[in-house]
Amino acid sequence: MLGRDGWAGLVCLAGSLGLLALTRGLPQPALVPIGPGFYPRLVLGSTALLSALLVLADLLARRRAGRPRRGEAPGPAPRPLIPPGWPLVLTTFGLFAAYVLLLPGLGYRLGTFLFVGALEAALEPRGGRRWLLIVVVAAATALVTHMVFETYLSVLLPRGRWTAF
């Protein structure tokens, strides 16, 4: 049975081998000693090798852990993969993904206002007078950054396809 490192190594191994397979279609020029596939193959091959070693190291470590010998070091307790605050982490990722995906449609100002407000509310859902602060911070973030970047720094922020705002 694999541990955390073993699974991570397997994912890296699969990813690098998958990409390595994609390099097979790259052309090999006749006039130069190396073609466009040379360096990617070197990098991906090395990654695959290192990942396989990580899987192997994990398997060996787990086998050793299964047969404790006198005086052998107890391995460090693995950190929990799923963090204690995972619902908030998941919510943040979800809200951020929604923000990023809806940004071209909603536009920067509306999208940012909604994202900042929603994330603030999610991170500190106490209700009451906090709502006023949430709305003020969300509106200020959207408007001040828009003004600073568009007016003073000549950075054009996305306009909404659906809102034209």
Partner 1 sequence: MLELLGAGILNVLQAKYLLSLVIGTLAGVVGGALPGVTITMTIILILPFTFGLDPLQGLAAMTGVYVGGSAGGLITACLIGIPGTPSAIATTFDGFPMAQKWQPGRALWLGVWASVCGGLLGGVFLIAATGPLAAFALQFGPWEFFSLFLFALAMVAGLTEASLLKGLISGAIGLMATIIGADPIMGVPRLTLGSEFLQGGFQFLPILIGVFAFAQIMTDIEKMGGPGPAREVARVAPSLSVSHLKVIAEILGRPFLLLWSTVIGILIGVLPAIGGSAANIMAYDQAKKLSRHPERFGTGTPEGIIASEASNNANVGGSLVTIMAFGIPGDAVTAVMLGAMIIHGIQPGPLFVSQEPRLAYGIFAAYLLAHPIMVLLVGAGARLFLRIVTVPKPVLIPVVLVFCVIGAYALNNIIENVYVLLLFGVLGYAMVKLGFPLAPLILGVVLGDQIEVNLVRAIMTDANPWLFLTRPISGTLIGLSVASVVFAVWQHHRAQARLAEAAEPDVDF
| Tokens linked to 160 | 């909404």
Residue 160 as a binder of partner 1 (CB under 8 A): the answer is no
Of the candidates 57, 82, 74, the one whose C-alpha atom is nearest the C-alpha of residue 3 is 57
User: What is the Cα–Cα distance from 118 to 112, expressed in whole angstroms?
Assistant: 10
Q: Which of 2, 123, 143, 147 binds partner 1 (CB under 8 A)?
A: 123
Residue 33 as a binder of partner 1 (CB under 8 A): the answer is yes
User: What is the Cα–Cα distance from 165 to 159, expressed in whole angstroms?
Assistant: 5
Residue 59 as a binder of partner 1 (CB under 8 A): the answer is no
Total residues contacting partner 1 (rule CB under 8 A)? 72
> Whole-number minimum distance, CB 75 to partner 1, in Å?
9
Q: Which of 17, 59, 141, 160 binds partner 1 (CB under 8 A)?
A: 141
Residue 112 as a binder of partner 1 (CB under 8 A): the answer is yes
Residue 65 as a binder of partner 1 (CB under 8 A): the answer is no
Residue 81 as a binder of partner 1 (CB under 8 A): the answer is yes
> Whole-number minimum distance, CB 116 to partner 1, in Å?
4
Write the DSSP assignment of 97-164 as a string of letters: HHHHHHHHHH-HHHHHHHHHHHHHHHHS---TTHHHHHHHHHHHHHHHHHHIIIIIS-PPPPPPTTT-
